[in-house]
Amino acid sequence: MNKDAVILIAEDDPGHIELVKKNLWRSCVGNNILQFKDGQEILDFLFKRDDKAKRGERSFYLLLLDIRMPKVDGQEVLRQIKEDEELRKIPVIILTTTDEASEVDRYYEMGCSFYMIKPADYNKFMEAVENLGAFLSLDGVRVPLINGVGAS
């Protein structure tokens, strides 16, 4: 992926965040990673409602998004991102434990890039994130520039 792209992880489970970061790193993903512990934090960052941590004027992002999170859940986060003219360009990969078939359908309809179920088994979870990392580490993967305009 573009070297200047930033990987955003919205995930309330600290153990899962560490596991995801570790395995992305093991797959040679050298991109910066920013983490958010609930849906409100990630929305505040993207829509620039937070004075402390808000996105830059011109940046490249990819979002790994959990569904069950406090305050605002992943479904609402995805909805708001995909309804914004500019932010909708951000590839959003759902990483979740929910595995109802109807859910998969709904998230693709809303515009997620991929829907990935976190395997309950620790080793399988690591392997799945490594596969994701191997993919994201590809030079050819391009995420678009997100401009400051468009989000209020």
Nearer to another protein, 38 or 107 (CB): 107
Q: Which of 97, 96, 99, 62 is nearest to 81 (CA)?
A: 62
Tell the smallest beta-carbon distance from residue 144 to another protein (Å): 5
Nearer to another protein, 144 or 148 (CB): 144
What span, in angstroms and rounded, lies between the C-alpha atoms of 69 and 72?
Answer: 6
Tell the smallest beta-carbon distance from residue 99 to another protein (Å): 8
Nearer to another protein, 14 or 144 (CB): 144
Q: Distance between alpha carbon 135 and the CA centroid of its chain, in Å?
A: 14
Tell the smallest beta-carbon distance from residue 55 to another protein (Å): 16
Nearer to another protein, 71 or 142 (CB): 142
Residue 43 CB contacts under 8 Å (≥ 6 apart), including other chains: 49, 72, 77, 80
Nearer to another protein, 1 or 40 (CB): 1
What span, in angstroms and rounded, lies between the C-alpha atoms of 44 and 50?
Answer: 5
Tell the smallest beta-carbon distance from residue 127 to another protein (Å): 8
In the complex, the residues that contact another protein under the rule CB under 8 A are 88-91, 99, 101, 104-105, 108-109, 111, 113-117, 127-128, 131-132, 134-135, 137-145
What span, in angstroms and rounded, lies between the C-alpha atoms of 38 and 9?
Answer: 10
Tell the smallest beta-carbon distance from residue 56 to another protein (Å): 17
